[in-house]
Amino acid sequence: MKNKEAEADSIDPRLFVGGAEKALRVLRAFQDHRHPQSLTEITESTGLGRSATQRFIYTLKALGYLRQDKFTKRYTLSPKVLDFGFAYLRNDYLVEKAFPYLLEASKRTDETVNLTELDDTEVIYVSRLPSRNLISVDILLGQRLPVYCTAPGRAILAGIQPEQATDILERSDRQARTKHTITELSEIERKLEEIRHFGYALSDQESFLGDISIAAAVRNHAGDVVAAINIAVPHPRWSIAEAERDLAPVVIETAWAITKALGGRKI
């Protein structure tokens, strides 16, 4: 698992297509902004020249990945960009193998069940079965959350090499998302030791107020951690003691069932 700096160092300039990277940079300019973007704003976000930005915007608009309001002249992503995400979900071996077990966990608990994968310092939600009950947080497929304060993130960190986990945590922007968020590196690493001992991770309202989450890591045939399953429930409908008593066993069993489906074994 390499960090972004190591990945950059490994790029072969003879094969790297700079134009493709710049086009993707324009698309990423919309990632952190919910409102339509002007040409000036996109230029500032990407760090590209105004003329180059204009050409990339025109190309992406012509291909159907951007659309422009005819009155404000501002740009937004078009629904066509969802094709890439759904192509990933349709073709991802892990999502396919995990789904029956996520469904079983959802039926057993009648609560929200998620599957997440690690991407550098964040986890990405790649499969989700929402509860029919009242939920405290509405998460969408493809949504990202930081690893340091989420149960699935910590479950994954606890399963990889300690030095890799420390590297990820040191590069994370460990801001307090709620009054309950643990941000100190030493305290998070102590939590990781507890996860290795008990087999599951617990986050008590550290990412969102009112959200309790319990997670366990999923491994592949080589024994590498590839994902985490978590069950999220609202406080005060659930207490921490109830969640650990009733949900932790389900989470651990489900993670192990998916691991076996991937050809993995207990280590």
Answer whether residue 251 is part of any domain.
yes
Answer whether residue 169 is part of any domain.
yes
Q: What single letter denotes the amino acid at residue 6?
A: A
Residues 245-249, mean pLDDT to the nearest whole number: 97
Q: 3-class DSSP state for residue 219?
A: strand
* Percentage of residues in the chain having pLDDT higher than 90: 78
* Structure confidence by residue, pLDDT tens digits, 211-226: 999 999 999 999 999 9
Strand partners, 219: 225
Same domain, residue pair 162 and 208: yes
Same domain, residue pair 206 and 155: yes
Distance CA 126, CA 85 (A): 9
Residue 97: domain span: 92-261
pLDDT band at 117 (very low <50, low <70, confident <90, very high): very high
Q: Is the pLDDT of residue 5 over 60?
A: no
Same domain, residue pair 143 and 192: yes
CA dist list (Å): 84 to 6, 38, 61, 142:
26, 24, 16, 11
Same domain, residue pair 106 and 238: yes
Answer whether residue 14 is part of any domain.
yes
* Structure confidence by residue, pLDDT tens digits, 51-76: 999 999 999 999 999 999 999 999 99
pLDDT band at 1 (very low <50, low <70, confident <90, very high): very low
User: What pLDDT is recorded for position 87?
Assistant: 84
Q: Is the pLDDT of residue 32 over 80?
A: no
Same domain, residue pair 117 and 12: no
Answer whether residue 87 is part of any domain.
no
Q: Is the pLDDT of residue 7 over 80?
A: no
Same domain, residue pair 140 and 53: no
Q: 3-class DSSP state for residue 228?
A: strand
User: What pLDDT is recorded for position 136?
Assistant: 62
φ, ψ at 61 (rounded to 5°): -70, -40
pTM > 0.85: yes or no? no
Distance CA 245, CA 248 (A): 6
Q: List CB contacts of 65: < 8 A, sequence separation 6 or more.
A: 27, 77, 78, 80, 81
Question: CATH code at 162?
Answer: 3.30.450.40
pLDDT band at 141 (very low <50, low <70, confident <90, very high): confident
Distance CA 256, CA 260 (A): 6
Cα distance between the two ends of the chain: 19
Q: What is the number of structural domains in the chain?
A: 2
Cα 50 → chain centroid? 32
Same domain, residue pair 110 and 75: no
Q: Is the pLDDT of residue 3 over 70?
A: no
Same domain, residue pair 239 and 163: yes
pLDDT band at 133 (very low <50, low <70, confident <90, very high): confident
Q: 3-class DSSP state for residue 43?
A: helix
